[in-house]
Structure 1
Amino acid sequence: MMTIAKDRGGRPRLGFGGAHLRRDAAHHSRAYSRFVGLMKFLLPTVALALIVSILVWPQLVGREEGSFRFSFADLERDPDGAVGVTKARFAGTDSANRPFVVAAERALQKQGFDVFALTTLQADITLADGTWLSITADTGEYERARQLLTLGGVIDIFSNVGYEMHATHAVVNLATGTVESAQPVQGHGPLGAMRADTMKYTAEGKRLQLTGGVRVVLNTRSQG
């Protein structure tokens, strides 16, 4: 039964009204907290969905030169709010219809919608002279619009003609098929071993340019 009591000032008050108000306030506070928590989760997810849509859109409408495909396993958001994906795969062809694939354990949006920071990545590309390269690196940055792949950390480059090179920095132009490094590189193959302070390989002319502290050791083989 509801009773009417008076407060210290002599004003009437409902016996259970204060408790109801406190419960209602607590309920609304919990509901608001849940809403805020939900928005913190949904807004970055929606933003990432928009990014993915923009990345995927070119493959739906087509491009005049080359093609592009993008896929991933899961969406994620790091502590500072940046959005990214796991098991990312960028695949396409250049203007000469040469295929390339860039795969990474993690791809994080860095600038706008076209630049991704990559970790633990592998790239497979076909050069203009038909040479196939498989490249692995600890870290990288992929610029989709310019088709540039900048690599860092431990970099290993292997070719289907028996050559391999190792570096700590390299830039791969997926559009033109050039590979260059402004830092020391070393490698070896059927003809011997080499090292240099910088390197640039141009597929169009099948030209490998080495500069600074160049050392080449050729293999000598007897002819039967």
Structure 2
Amino acid sequence: MRRRILVAVAKRLLPLAAVGLLATVALWPEFESAADRGRVAFRRVAEVQPTALHIVEPRYQGLDEQNQPYTVTAATAVQEGEEQAVQLQEPRADLELNDGGWVYLEAREGRYDRPGSRLDLAGDVTIHHDDGTQFVTPRAELDIAGGDASGDDPVAAQGPFGTLTAEGFRLYDRGQVVVFTGRARAVLEGAR
């Protein structure tokens, strides 16, 4: 009787054990890859110290010496370490005038010294005045707070007065006084 019971139990258990063993052998690679996917590794990483601050579409706003607002914007700005000056790509500046007019400046690159309110522009510098006057020069330096600008590179100007080329320029009193330096050539258009 004992033997019959053992044979009956073995008939049922041995095939189940064989199926379980075959399933384990067939699925073993899946168990291994699942274990690898579930592992988390921590590595010691050296502490990274940034060497420059990079800003996309910065906007700097302030007031000049006559409490007139100005805004300096750019496509990007990079400030190296502890330096106060910011390197700008595609800088633009808007300045309001006392009489309600405005001046708009743009260039390919520039350097903005925020504490000194100085903006140095380079690369196709264009200065637009709301009266229709436009200056184009390779380089220009601006004292934003004081409202002065200058450049020692060739300049071309056009406006209601006509056209003018010169070796340099000086703008005083927020563009109210313009002095062209070096050799200058003007074609003036008179009122009819």
TM-score bracket relative to the smaller structure: 0.7 to 0.9
2:57 equivalent to 1:87: yes
Question: Structure 1 residues 205 and 82 mapped into 2: Cα distance closer, same or farther (>3 Å)?
Answer: closer
Decide which of 123, 136, 139 is 2:93's aligned counterpart.
Answer: 123
Give the alignment's TM-score, normalised by structure 2. Answer: 0.73
The AA in structure 1 aligned to 2:93 is: A
Please list every run of at least 4 consecutive aligned residues from structure 1 whose deviation after the TM superposition is greater than 3 angstroms: 127-131
Higher relative contact order by CA 8 Å / sep ≥ 6: 1 or 2?
A: 2
* Separation in structure 1 between the aligned mates of residue 85 and residue 93 of structure 2, nearest angstrom: 16
Deviation at 1:221, TM superposition (A): 3.9
User: Do 1:127 and 1:203's aligned partners in 2 also have CA atoms closer than 8 Å?
Assistant: no
The AA in structure 2 aligned to 1:142 is: Y
Give the alignment's TM-score, normalised by structure 1. Answer: 0.63
The AA in structure 1 aligned to 2:55 is: V
User: Do 1:116 and 1:141's aligned partners in 2 also have CA atoms closer than 8 Å?
Assistant: yes
Identity between Structure 1 and Structure 2 (%):
27
2:67 equivalent to 1:97: yes
* Separation in structure 2 between the aligned mates of residue 205 and residue 129 of structure 1, nearest angstrom: 12
* Separation in structure 1 between the aligned mates of residue 190 and residue 65 of structure 2, nearest angstrom: 41
Question: Structure 1 residues 203 and 111 mapped into 2: Cα distance closer, same or farther (>3 Å)?
Answer: farther
The aligned counterpart of 1:150 is 120
Q: Which runs of 5+ in 2 are unaligned?
A: 1-39
List per-residue Cα deviations over 1:132-162 (Å, max 9, x = no partner).
1111100000001110000001111111111
User: Do 2:147 and 2:175's aligned partners in 1 also have CA atoms closer than 8 Å?
Assistant: no
* Separation in structure 1 between the aligned mates of residue 170 and residue 191 of structure 2, nearest angstrom: 28
Decide which of 103, 108, 125 is 1:138's aligned counterpart.
Answer: 108
Q: Any idea what SS the aligned residue of 1:197 has? A: strand
Quick check: which has more Rg, 1 or 2?
2
